Amino acid sequence: MSESGVAQVGLIGLAVMGKNLALNIADHGFDIAVFNRTTAITQEFIRENPNTPGKLVGCDTLADFVLAIKKPRVIIILVKAGAAVDAVTQQLIDAGVDKSDIVIDAGNSLWTDTIRCEKQYAEKLKFFGSGVSGGELGARFGPSLMPGGDPESWKHLKPIWEAIAAKVDPKTGKPIPGAEPGKPVTGGVPCTAYLGPDGAGHYVKMVHNGIEYVDMQLISEAYFLLRHLLGLTPPDLAEIFSQWNLTELDSYLIEITADVLQQRDPAKPRKYLVDSILDAAGQKGTGKWTSTSALDMGVPANSIAEAVFARCMSALKEERVAASKKLRGPKAGNKKHGKKMIEAIRQALFCSKICAYAQGFQLMFQAQQEYHWKFDFGTIASIWRGGCIIRAGFLQKITDAYTRDPKLVNLLMDPYFRKQIQNGQDQWRQVVALAAQNGIAAPAFMSALAYYDSYRTAVLPASLIQAQRDYFGAHTYERVDQARGKFFHIDWPDAKRPQIEA
């Protein structure tokens, strides 16, 4: 049985993320009502956590759950994105939640669903969306939180979100570590900020994930080049990634890569685990959503899409194995490059990473026009400095760039990032060329370089595309010597247009 009206907040969905978020909330002294569709899971959770600073109130029914929370109710739902969010929202309405109550969808929901839900349930409750990043440990000890929705609702959620979010040092911008069960980090700047109405928070979280895909792909390509070009072993590589973590590449993903590469296979201790893991990457869809959104809005986020396609290609394991026996390429490997090549690969990784983030921010720039949001890009970068999967020293540089120029059109135009690419681009080009010469696939390195070179090119070959379009389909073209928006067509002499059958 539950107590009535004592909890300051409620949470539905006690899978790992939900349990950890609930414990994080309780650690900060908030009394929290919890509900899971399987009652045994709720009861076990309460039994296992008897002494949290804030009270955990286990509820066996949704009616009890709703009664256990003070009004206006703040209810977090952490269930699978999609149909389950609607199902739980409807069940809450049936259980007595009303128009003054706030329901926060903290899953990886598609932003258009969040926009729809806010409208669809407006007469029944206040639907709010928030991205949550940082995996299980982030949820437990400090995630990055990306809220979006009605600003009035945010007022009620803010104290909880600011308390439980990861914290960064106000001077260095680095995450403050050291949270333990029952002893959360206090002080510091919380990695959360109100991002805008309706789907804004979930959109930003989606782009975070798109960037996460490229970050991971780039690190994997660096690993692969080091391994196959230079013949290095996993422990050598672990050492290199640890060193890189002391440079501009300092980030959570580089840090865990060093750990991953030292891990032996528990089933075959003479082997390293990375060599026992099948090279077929999974994906739940947020990278694809990011790429689809980029395609829909015509934003060149090619490295983000490339990272998604790289996962798709990896999943074609059997086909690739068959092709590897038939399709010829050069023999990879040239150990003579040594240390210089290690540094060149580091530079290639850093320059590519800058391009990937430039694409992610360009995408958000376009989305805000499309959805009438008003993003503060410096703030977005700042709430990614701690707690989330892409947290990195690098994010402080992005915040600095947008502080220098809040209207920055593309990160590549910022003096700091321009200089970094200026310093690293010879090595980046060398690495991309070597990858091609050695037949080692490095799609994200290559597409990032193509992005950079295209973006900095005043005249691209698209004039020829326009001519072809006009030739075969009278699609018209603009002229270099006329104002934009004026379209021209010529009757191409001897035009060989596709024959349309009558």
8 A C-beta contact, residue 301 and residue 355: no
> Shortest distance, CB of residue 166 to ligand 6PG, whole angstroms?
12
Cα-based angle 468, 471, 472 (whole degrees, multiple of 5): 90
> Shortest distance, CB of residue 203 to ligand 6PG, whole angstroms?
14
8 A C-beta contact, residue 214 and residue 291: no
Residue 57 or 390 with smaller CB distance to ligand 6PG: 390
8 A C-beta contact, residue 363 and residue 301: yes
User: Sign of torsion, CA 367 368 369 373?
Assistant: positive
Among 388, 383, 374, 373, residue whose Cα is nearest residue 192: 383
> Shortest distance, CB of residue 131 to ligand 6PG, whole angstroms?
8
Question: In the annotation, is 343 catalytic?
Answer: no
What is the spatial distance between Cα 55 and Cα 3, in angstroms, rounded to a whole number?
A: 11
HSE-up of residue 207 (Cα within 13 Å, Cβ side): 28
> Shortest distance, CB of residue 256 to ligand 6PG, whole angstroms?
12
> Shortest distance, CB of residue 237 to ligand 6PG, whole angstroms?
22
> Cα separations (Å) of 226 from 70, 392, 433, 442, 447?
57, 22, 14, 12, 19
Residue 105 or 414 with smaller CB distance to ligand 6PG: 105
Place of tokens 């928070």: 201
3-state secondary structure 212-236: HHHHHHHHHHHHHHHHHHHCCCHHH
Residue 106 or 240 with smaller CB distance to ligand 6PG: 106
The active-site residue out of 126, 205, 288, 397 is 205
Q: Which residue is nearest to ligand 6PG (CB)?
A: 133
Cα pseudo-dihedral 50, 54, 60, 65, rounded to 10 = 180
What is the spatial distance between Cα 4 and Cα 343, in angstroms, rounded to a whole number?
A: 62
> Shortest distance, CB of residue 319 to ligand 6PG, whole angstroms?
22
> Shortest distance, CB of residue 139 to ligand 6PG, whole angstroms?
8
Residue 313 or 332 with smaller CB distance to ligand 6PG: 313
Q: What is the CA radius of gyration of the chain?
A: 26
Among 337, 287, 327, 294, residue whose Cα is nearest residue 309: 287
Residue 11 or 389 with smaller CB distance to ligand 6PG: 389
Place of tokens 């982030």: 138
Question: In the annotation, is 205 catalytic?
Answer: yes
What is the spatial distance between Cα 322 and Cα 320, in angstroms, rounded to a whole number?
A: 5
What is the spatial distance between Cα 393 and Cα 164, in angstroms, rounded to a whole number?
A: 21
The active-site residue out of 118, 212, 221, 306 is 212
Residue 378 identity (one-letter amino acid): G
Residue 149 or 387 with smaller CB distance to ligand 6PG: 387
What is the spatial distance between Cα 127 and Cα 146, in angstroms, rounded to a whole number?
A: 15
Residue 103 or 389 with smaller CB distance to ligand 6PG: 389
Beta strand extents in 257-347 (DSSP E only): 264-265, 268-272
Tokens of 41: 């899971």
8 A C-beta contact, residue 79 and residue 22: no
Residue 318 identity (one-letter amino acid): E
> Shortest distance, CB of residue 204 to ligand 6PG, whole angstroms?
11
8 A C-beta contact, residue 258 and residue 355: no
Q: What are the strands of the beta sheet with 126-133, ordered from one edge?
A: 56-59, 32-35, 9-12, 74-77, 102-105, 126-133, 144-148
> Shortest distance, CB of residue 372 to ligand 6PG, whole angstroms?
26
**Other Cβ atoms closer than 10 A to 23:** 24
> Shortest distance, CB of residue 314 to ligand 6PG, whole angstroms?
12
- Binding residues vs ligand 6PG (CB under 6 A): 108, 133-135, 209, 212, 282-284, 286-287, 388-389
Place of tokens 């590549």: 412
Residue 81 or 332 with smaller CB distance to ligand 6PG: 81
8 A C-beta contact, residue 244 and residue 147: no
Residue 193 or 388 with smaller CB distance to ligand 6PG: 388
Residue 73 or 202 with smaller CB distance to ligand 6PG: 202
Catalytic residue list: 205, 212
